[in-house]
Amino acid sequence: MPVPSNWLRPPHPLTSLAPGQIHIWRLAHNPQCLPPVAWEASLSSDELARANRFAFHRDRNAYISTRAVLRELLGQYLATPPKEIAFHYAERGKPGLAQTAPTPTGGGAPVHFNVSHTRSLALLAFACDRRLGIDVEFIRPIDNWEDIARRFFSPSELAELRALPPEQRDEGFYTCWTRKESYLKARGEGLHLPLDRFDVTLTPGAPERLTAEDASNWALISLYPRQGYAAALTAEGQNFNLQLWDYDYAPAQTTVSSQP
């Protein structure tokens, strides 16, 4: 497995989100600690309602942390209090900023963003001039990988996965999954786009490649946020500066139970 990408501490204060830039933030959750009280206070009533539907404290806290950091970062990019940020959801569920949202400091189009989280890790991607999608998955053994791949992967992806040595198959499976998911999220299609309409490569360590009718409109990039995780970004266009930031916080050291 490739080594983790070079994630850096961001400058203080945070630089503006300029055209041609994509910022990706890595957020590590501590499932044993409560998120800061101020984070929960920044969420909307519907976000709090969703948080309270989680059965386990660790999942609730991870959701609150991710949504609060999303609001905090958008607030910095837009010079707006996090609590005042309003979201809308497209027909197929992709979130975006409400039309009344301000533009980033310095002008330009409203911020595009996308978020993914799994286990104790979340990735948040931002750009002001292009659509994007991001996905991260914890790599774990899958006994029925072939059955799942037959359902969700294209014939060429399934053939490439079968050709991998057994010790690479789990990583190859999640490499494929994150690349496909990031492309679907970037387009805003969810699973409404037939999965056999496009292909991605999945061999660990090999170059990324997207084969689709609009492939020339997108860049597909693998990310390595941490050992044992697979991640991918799909971004509109080909010319951009990708910056990887580590979000650092010290939540209240109040431990919580993993039980409901």
* pLDDT the model gives residue 169: 97
pLDDT digits (tens, 9 = 90+) for 232-259: 999 999 889 999 999 976 544 444 444 4
Q: What is the DSSP string of 52-113?
A: TT-SSHHHHHHHHHHHHHHHHHHHHHHTS-GGG--EEE-TTS-EEE-TTPPPPTT--SPPEE
Kindly give the parts of the chain with pLDDT less than 50. Answer: 106, 251-260
Tokens for 15, please give them. Answer: 């630089």
For the purposes of burial, counting CB atoms within 10 Å of the CB of 56, is it exposed (0-12), middle (13-18) or buried (19 or more)?
middle
CB 30 within 8 A of CB 251: yes
* Per-residue confidence (pLDDT) for residue 202, from 0 to 100: 98
Nearest alpha carbon to residue 23 among 15, 32, 31:
15
pLDDT of residue 23: 96
For the beta sheet containing 112-118, the strands, ordered from the edge strand earlier in sequence to the opposite edge, are 112-118, 121-127, 21-28, 241-247
- What would the pLDDT profile of 48-79 be if each residue is shown by its tens digit? 999 999 998 888 888 999 999 999 999 999 99
Instruction: Read off the pTM.
Output: 0.89
225: phi > 0 → left, psi -120 to 50 → alpha, else beta; which?
Answer: alpha
Beta bridge partners of residue 22, listed in sequence order: 127, 242
Q: What is the pLDDT at residue 231?
A: 97
**Can you read off the two tokens belonging to residue 56?**
């386990």
